[in-house]
Structure 1
Amino acid sequence: MTELSTAARTDEQRREFSKRAFRRIVPLLCLVYVISFLDRTNIGFAKDRLQADLGISAAAYGLGAGLFFLTYALLEVPSNLVLRKVGARWWIARIMITWGLLSAATAFVRGEVSFYVLRLLLGAAEAGLFPGVILYFTYWFTRAERAKANGYFLLGASIANIVGSPLAGALLSIDGAGGLHGWQWLFLTEGAPAVVLAFVILRVLPDSPAKASWVSAEEARDLQARLDAEAGPEPARHPVRQVLRDPQIVLAIVVYFCHQVAIYAVAYFLPGIIGRAGSLSPFQTGLLAMLPWLASGIGALVLPRLATTAGRARLLIAIALLVMAGGFLVGLLAGPVLGLLGLCGSGFVFWCVNSTIFTFPSSRLTGAALAGGLAFVNSCGILGGFAGPYLMGLAENSTGDPASGLWIVVVLLVLAAALAMALRHGAARKADSARLESDLRK
């Protein structure tokens, strides 16, 4: 047998292993993110009812929606470092149990203060899930495969809104059943699945390829050798406190922040934006709110796999951000039908940035710095989840129009698209850093 045929056979075996890993872990973690995103954003449908039943204003609602991200961001780095030490299986299960119970407890808020407290606690409970899974994928997939894995994982957010939008509308419609408001049924019903799924995670999710019963020792060694080779002979040893010294990571944070402002501005205010079109029932609003997320699910399946090189990933991010900005402009300026189509166009590219942006910092960090660095990037970027709803709430309070804050979002997206073109992978990290620093000085 020639060396060439042996190499070809090895490549085929590696592709088969990668497909098996996808089948075994990605759908399960996608389901985790479905429930996570459902519990994180279901207050978008409760917004009007919270105002009517508890007197929570649009500005207070926007602040409460955003407060989730403050504790989430604050605790992401320590959470990811704990995950690296104790293993993904136990830590993800712990996250799910605590967030499920706290999400259900939102049914018993009595005013603005209790609403704020529970949102802060929910953010603390869920901290580390997203960067933890992104870190976990670095144990299983090479750099060329990671954007695809990230994209399938992020599909969970789309599925959450596709399923959750009509479900939320139906639950709100049972107002008064059992002496509870419809929004109380919403939180109680959607909080329970996280606790149940946590026990499934404990049973079936392996901490690493070396600990998976369905991975041979030879396969685990081969994968680790390929991952080590990608890190290079002299891997970067950035302590977490030095992550901000890398201009490329700072750039990734800024782009991701702008993107998250847009995502969560839409996630928490989309039902209200659709509701301004006319008199719609909660269920009808839920069905229409599902459409942009349906488009985002299709995009999550189709687009991230195109990001196989640094150049393609960079271009995909920039185009996606511009398409989002254009779709929001259509939503602002056109009538109800064309406006909804514009939001669907934005939705189609929602997850291109999330699934691709983390390939840049992960190419520049290793070991504990990788765990902490990914969490730090997500922590800074996810603060856009605080800024987006808060700005939208202030704008609605000032203008009476739930869509008025999208003007700010459009500007941020265009800025992020321009910055994204300077992103570089870590293969030439020193040259890239010097070039970016020189460009910023000009």
Structure 2
Amino acid sequence: MSNMAIEQSSFASLAVDDDALKKAAFRKVIWRMLPILTLGYVFNFLDRTNIGFAALQMNRDIGLSASQFGWGAGILFIGYCGFEVPSNILLYRFGARLWISRILISWGLLSCAMSLVSGPTSFYLMRFALGVAEAGFFPGVAYFLSAWFPAQYRARILSWFLVAIPVSSVIGGPLGGLLLELDGHLGLAGWQWLFIIEGIPAVIIGLVLLKQLADRPQDAAWLTPDEKRVIVASVESEKRDRVVNRLGLALRDIRVWMCTIVYLGFTVGSYGVQIWLPQILKQQNLSNLQIGWISALPYLAASVGMIIWAGFADRSGRKIINLSTCCFLAVVGFVLAIATRRFDLSLLGLTAALVGVTGARAIFWSIPTRFLTGIAAAGGIAFINTIGTTGGFFGPTIVGWLKDTTGTFEAGLLAMAGFLAVSTVFALLLKLVIHDE
């Protein structure tokens, strides 16, 4: 065999070995980080949206109207959005391990303290404080994961993290119904037990993350030198769109603003349904426990749909087309939910809407990191999330106001369809400024 043939054989063998090493290294990272981060996000959404179940008792106990409840449910996102970018800048400075842990511990304590609210004013103040405490968690994790996984993994990794959103509702529905049954135990109302029991795990997870995470592959003592090498090489060698690496440039980039509008639209729709779903179901004269179990069904379908759709989007590489399709499915679902008087078909429509919204969320967050890096990624992702997450305020508030004005939830759901239609259009326009394979 010639020297050239020997060299080619050696290179081929090295490539095969590196490929196997890369798969093993990423598998190790996934199993160490993703379960605990996903569990943290499950409790993030439980502690953010359990207000919908608490309202079944709390609104009566502390005297809240539909408009006051909608305002208070949404005001969390004013605090959240106001501190989102500063939180991610501090994460970039102090490191993801320390800052993400701090976020979990502080919001867990404040979630427990929600059990102390006694009227509209204290309700508003505690919801605002909870939003400040949570600020930066999701964009911080999204930025953190982009430092560990290249583009070909990112939508799937984010989908497994973001599946926490529908899973939190699969768990939160039955759990919320059961916790409300503790009403009167040890002198506390059921809604107070709900806040306390669902807040404590966030504190515990925050303490665990201090030991479990490493800011960068280079800092991970639990990886071998070769595993660190292949992970760093994979991330640094990925093909990117026209890259922005300065925060000021990121905030003036048309792609960032278009992504922001897309995200705002489907966030309004997501929270508009999620916060009010228990009370929408209550109109069917169901018990609190029945509402808990029935409300879990749409989110179970959304959990499965998110994972399958994100995997398909990764394999096809056509993230933007899949994003726009998800948003359009949500529009169709909302319209179906209000176009029929049959409970089963309305529930099917809401299920389709939630599959579309959750699928869009997973695919969406793999797009900004294709053209944002470094401090621009930390700040740009936080900026998109900040503006987009105001949908968590507008969605519940709009539905509550329209419910008080019209006496039904139909106008609110139609408004949610309108916001998703805007997301669909801007997702299609993104294709003009971002390369989609």
What does residue range 140-179 of structure 1 map to in structure 2 within 5 Å?
Answer: 140-179=148-187
Question: Contact 1:361/1:425 (CA < 8 Å) preserved in 2?
Answer: no
Deviations 1:116-139 (A, max 9, x none): 000110000000000011011111
Deviations 1:123-176 (A, max 9, x none): 000000000110111111001111111100011112211111111111112222
Pick the aligned partner of 1:243 from 250, 272, 275. 250
2:418 equivalent in structure 1: 411
1:137 equivalent in structure 2: 145
**Corresponding position: 1:19 with 2:27:** yes
Pick the aligned partner of 1:294 from 290, 300, 311. 300
Distance 1:242 1:142 in 2: 23
> How far has the Cα of 1:282 moved from its partner?
0.5
2:328 equivalent in structure 1: 322
**Corresponding position: 1:203 with 2:211:** yes
What does residue range 41-52 of structure 1 map to in structure 2 within 5 Å?
Answer: 41-52=49-60
What does residue range 180-329 of structure 1 map to in structure 2 within 5 Å?
Answer: 180-230=188-238, 235-239=243-247, 241-277=248-284, 279-308=285-314, 312-329=318-335
Deviations 1:3-41 (A, max 9, x none): 334323322322222222212211111000011110000
Question: Contact 1:169/1:283 (CA < 8 Å) preserved in 2?
Answer: yes
The share of aligned pairs that are identical, in percent, is 37
Deviations 1:164-203 (A, max 9, x none): 1111111112222222211111111111111112111112
Distance 1:291 1:347 in 2: 11
> How far has the Cα of 1:247 moved from its partner?
1.1
Pick the aligned partner of 2:355 from 348, 359, 372. 348
After TM superposition, the structure 1 stretch with the greater mean CA deviation from structure 2, 44-53 or 280-289, is: 44-53
1:387 equivalent in structure 2: 394
Distance 1:421 1:121 in 2: 37
Distance 2:433 2:222 in 1: 32
2:84 equivalent in structure 1: 76
Distance 1:251 1:151, change over 3 A: same
2:5 equivalent in structure 1: none
> How far has the Cα of 1:291 moved from its partner?
0.8
Distance 1:347 1:428, change over 3 A: closer
Question: Contact 2:38/2:164 (CA < 8 Å) preserved in 1?
Answer: yes
Q: Secondary structure at the match of 2:289?
A: helix
2:63 equivalent in structure 1: 55
Question: Contact 1:165/1:289 (CA < 8 Å) preserved in 2?
Answer: yes
Question: Contact 2:265/2:391 (CA < 8 Å) preserved in 1?
Answer: yes
2:101 equivalent in structure 1: 93
Query: What is the TM-score of this pair, normalised by structure 1?
Result: 0.92
Question: Contact 1:272/1:402 (CA < 8 Å) preserved in 2?
Answer: no
What letter corresponds to residue 31 of structure 1 in structure 2? L
Question: Contact 2:259/2:384 (CA < 8 Å) preserved in 1?
Answer: yes
Question: Contact 2:241/2:371 (CA < 8 Å) preserved in 1?
Answer: no
Distance 1:179 1:306 in 2: 51
**Corresponding position: 1:375 with 2:363:** no
After TM superposition, the structure 1 stretch with the greater mean CA deviation from structure 2, 112-121 or 164-173, is: 164-173
2:6 equivalent in structure 1: none
Q: Secondary structure at the match of 2:297?
A: helix
Q: Secondary structure at the match of 2:118?
A: coil
Question: Contact 2:399/2:413 (CA < 8 Å) preserved in 1?
Answer: yes
> How far has the Cα of 1:379 moved from its partner?
0.6
> How far has the Cα of 1:425 moved from its partner?
9.9
What letter corresponds to residue 100 of structure 2 in structure 1? I
> How far has the Cα of 1:77 moved from its partner?
1.0
Distance 1:425 1:140, change over 3 A: farther
Distance 1:16 1:333, change over 3 A: same
> How far has the Cα of 1:428 moved from its partner?
6.2
> How far has the Cα of 1:211 moved from its partner?
1.8
Q: Which blocks of at least 5 consecutive residues in structure 2 are unaligned?
A: 1-8
Distance 1:135 1:425, change over 3 A: farther
Distance 1:232 1:112 in 2: 49
Question: Contact 2:21/2:230 (CA < 8 Å) preserved in 1?
Answer: no
Distance 2:181 2:274 in 1: 21
Question: Contact 2:250/2:256 (CA < 8 Å) preserved in 1?
Answer: yes
> How far has the Cα of 1:229 moved from its partner?
2.7
Distance 1:16 1:84, change over 3 A: same
Query: What is the TM-score of this pair, normalised by structure 2?
Result: 0.93
Distance 1:174 1:402, change over 3 A: farther
2:36 equivalent in structure 1: 28
Distance 1:312 1:385, change over 3 A: same
**Corresponding position: 1:396 with 2:396:** no
1:339 equivalent in structure 2: 346
> How far has the Cα of 1:427 moved from its partner?
7.5
Pick the aligned partner of 2:429 from 409, 413, 422. 422
Pick the aligned partner of 2:73 from 51, 60, 65. 65
What letter corresponds to residue 58 of structure 1 in structure 2? A
Question: Contact 2:319/2:367 (CA < 8 Å) preserved in 1?
Answer: no
1:438 equivalent in structure 2: none
1:434 equivalent in structure 2: none
Question: Contact 1:231/1:366 (CA < 8 Å) preserved in 2?
Answer: no
RMSD between aligned residues: 2.0
